[in-house]
Structure 1
Amino acid sequence: MFTVAALYHFTPFSDPAALQAPLAKTCCSAGVTGTLLLAPEGINGTIAGTRDGIDAALAHIRSLPGCADLEWKESTAVEQPFGRMKVRLKREIVTMGQPQVDPRAGTGHYVDAKDWNDLISAPDVAVIDTRNDYEVAIGTFNGAIDPETKSFGEFPEWWQQNKQRFHNKRIAMFCTGGIRCEKSTNYLLGEGVEDVFHLKGGILKYLEDVPAEDSKWRGECFVFDGRVSVGHGLEEGPHQLCHACRRPILPEDRARPEFEEGVSCHHCAAETSEADKARFRERQKQIRLSRERGESHLGQSVKPD
């Protein structure tokens, strides 16, 4: 059984590049895999490994400037959910494209998982899912509004086009682990919205703490690792990943005529050209050959962006 740790922390890093190699070395030496993003605004990512390996990686992260009070959420995976370790440099640890947004200057009111049901049941509350459309498609809260965004960077434009719908409403926002709401609630505060709330710890904390029989969550929660989705109790869900478009699919979707392993699924078959599909087939061939040789197609690596 592998321990999976999801984490983020907003803190100023004056030189993120100087932190990259030592962090990657610690993780790789401890046998930890996953993805960590470093930016001037902080750190974000998910890692997996043995208990000792995760403890070593977290100890290193907590030693970084301003990270002593780092919080993280843990779950488990039967199989290693990542193929390699990546530590990347980014402009933002979650991309919104709004330079004025700074969660350190203020966010919405945090709402604990145990109090979330009461808040979103109130008639004067509008509940907004800040995740991407393919995430919302497999699960969300009862009555939540889906902005139908393909990336988080589209949220500000959606808000500008729809903000009149929420006049005299309190706004409750949620996302997978909380990081997107740190930025989206700060953005709304900057737009003059006063009553803004967000689910502390995100959907993952809710699924961990709230019993299924009391839940207002429906479906599964998409996660950005090999588990693809989790449900109540953070149990691994039934979803798999289309390795062409990176969208979640169910096991029965593999029987659909549009599905070809690593090439297409019913979500993306019409979105790619024959040239794209030929390239995907070649990639899939190389993956198969690597597996037959007992090798990993993706080795451990550190990639600056």
Structure 2
Amino acid sequence: MNKPYNILLYYCYSPIADPEAYREEHHLLCLELNMLGRIIVSNEGLNGTVSGLKADCEKYMQTMKSDPRFAKIDFKVDASEAHAFTKLHVRTKAEIVHSGLLHVDPNVRTGVHLSPKEFKDMKDREDVVVLDVRSDYEHSVGRFKNAVTLDIENFREFPEKVGELKEKYKDKKVLTYCTGGIKCEKASAFLLEQGFENVYQLHGGIIKYGMEAGGEDFEGKCYVFDNRVAVEVNRVNPTVVSECHVCGTKSDRMVNCANPVCNLHVPICEKCGWELDGACSAECKEHPEKRPYDGTGYYQKETNGYNPLKGFNRRKSSGVQQ
């Protein structure tokens, strides 16, 4: 059965002269097309994950590509039964993905882009190391077989790990990958800046690899930043690599602890989920603010007071961002 909605994942490094003005223009476009999701606008470009009805998504992509600044956007499109978001947020920030590498421009220099097939053909060679540039909670639930992973809580910690990587892998061809490709743009550029000579990146990331190469040798699920939390990628040789936080059995069922003060985001098997009523521990189960558990471990953020037009009448000179 055809699913009526699409989920779009995309980014584009392309200069935007007035990010705040474009933020408002883009916000209005999303409202017109009934799109929901999260979009970051910066003077270096755009980064977004949005959902909408198929026809609305088609109009959205056509409108974006008709703008010369964003003609090169590579949309990753996935079918869905419903919206993957409940709100629309279009925000301006200093970077479209927070790295702290403000001086790095992927349009000037970045790693060689590999198609999913090229990545698949190279990844197991002896002179190659496959590097996951994502955060620990992302690669804990899924990563490429034999990939090097980093103990980082967020991407802005990546530069701190490069010295250690250089000691071990400076003579290797480094193949970087992430969810949709955006982190690799700056990660691979920074590796080149720091003296690595042969740096590549998986174009379109794990998502595109799953779509075009069947996801072969990607073990576990891919963490995503929408209501789905984690998605299947591998249709060739799937496996589960993550373990239940409570009992240690194999599980890729990502859950937010029902205690909102804790809110730990970890794999918890269905059995332990019900036994702890959605909590990650006995202590959290007894917490007075614990949320009701419905078996999913996903808790929708409150939408009370949500206004998609909030902030449109700001004074330009105030510098306030919504």
Q: TM-score, normalised by structure 2?
A: 0.78
Q: 2:113 aligns with which of 89, 93, 110?
A: 110
**Offset at residue 126 of structure 1 (A):** 1.2
Which residue of the partner structure matches residue 220 of structure 2?
219
Q: Indicate which of 273, 280, 295 corresponds to 1:254.
A: 273
Q: Deviations over 1:98-119 (max 9, x none)?
A: 2221101111111111122221
Q: What secondary structure, in the 3-state scheme, does the structure 1 residue paired with 2:76 have?
A: strand
> Counterpart in 2 of 1:289?
none
The answer to whether the 8 Å contact 1:175/1:202 transfers is: yes
Q: Which amino acid aligns with 1:98?
A: L
- What is the Cα deviation at residue 35 of structure 1? 0.6
Tell me the amino acid that sits aligned with residue 187 of structure 1. Answer: F
Residue-by-residue CA offset, 1:82-131 (whole Å, 9 max, x unaligned): 01111001100001102221101111111111122221101111111001
CA pair 24-251 structure 1, distance change in 2 beyond 3 A: farther
- Residues 8-157 of structure 1 aligned to structure 2 (within 5 Å): 8-64=11-67, 66-157=69-160
The one-letter amino acid paired with 1:249 is P
Matched, 1:201 2:204: yes
Deviation at 1:48, TM superposition (A): 0.3
Is structure 2 residue 318 aligned with structure 1 residue 299?
no
Question: Any conservation in 2 of the 1:23–1:60 contact (CA below 8 Å)?
Answer: no
Letter in 1 for 2:276: P
How far, CA to CA, are the matches of 1:197 and 1:187 in structure 2? 12
Task: Classify 1:256/1:144 alpha carbon distance in 2 versus 1 (closer, same or farther; 3 Å).
Answer: farther
Q: Indicate if the aligned counterparts of 2:64 and 2:70 stay in contact, CA closer than 8 A.
A: yes
Structure 1 SS opposite 2:208: helix
- 1:173 is paired with a residue whose SS is strand
Work out the CA distance in 1 between the residues paired with 2:89 and 2:27: 7
CA contact (8 A) 2:74 2:204 kept: no
Change over 3 Å in CA distance of 1:71–1:102 after alignment to 2: same
Structure 2 distance, partners of 1:258, 1:125, is 45
1:232 matched residue in structure 2: 233
8 Å contact kept, 1:7–1:45:
yes
Q: Report percent identity of matched pairs.
A: 29
Matched ranges for 1:254-293 at <5 A: 254-255=273-274, 257=276, 259-260=278-279, 265=280, 281=290
CA positional deviation for 1:300: 4.9
1:264-285 superposed Cα distances (whole Å, 9 cap, x missing partner) = x35x959xxx9xx66x65xx58
Deviations 1:181-237 (A, max 9, x none): 00100101111211001111100011111236xx11111001100111111379xx9
Aligned residue pairs, count: 279
> Quick check: 9-18 or 107-116, which moved more?
107-116
The change in CA–CA distance for 1:197 and 1:188 in structure 2 (over 3 A counts) is same
- Post-superposition Cα deviations, 1:39-96, rounded to whole Å, max 9, x if no partner, equal 0100001110001221232234334461122221100122321011110011000011
Q: More relative contact order in 1 or in 2 (CA 8 Å, sep 6+)?
A: 1
Q: Which amino acid aligns with 1:299?
A: Y
- Structure-2 separation of matches of 1:72 and 1:20: 19
If the length of structure 1 is used for normalisation, what is the TM-score? 0.82
Which aligned segments of 4 or more residues in structure 1 are displaced greater than 6 angstroms? none
Q: Secondary structure at the match of 2:16?
A: coil
Helix, strand or coil for the counterpart of 1:134? helix
Give the distance between the partners of 2:253 and 2:90, measured in 1 at CA. Answer: 26
Q: Distance in 2 between matches of 1:258 and 1:153?
A: 34
1:187 equivalent to 2:187? Answer no
Match in the other structure for 2:314 = none
Amino acid at match of 1:50: L
Please give the root-mean-square deviation of Cα atoms over the aligned residues, in Å: 2.7
SS in 2 for 1:149: coil
Partner Cα separation in structure 1 for residue 78 and residue 220 of structure 2? 18
In structure 1, give the amino acid aligned to 2:103: Q
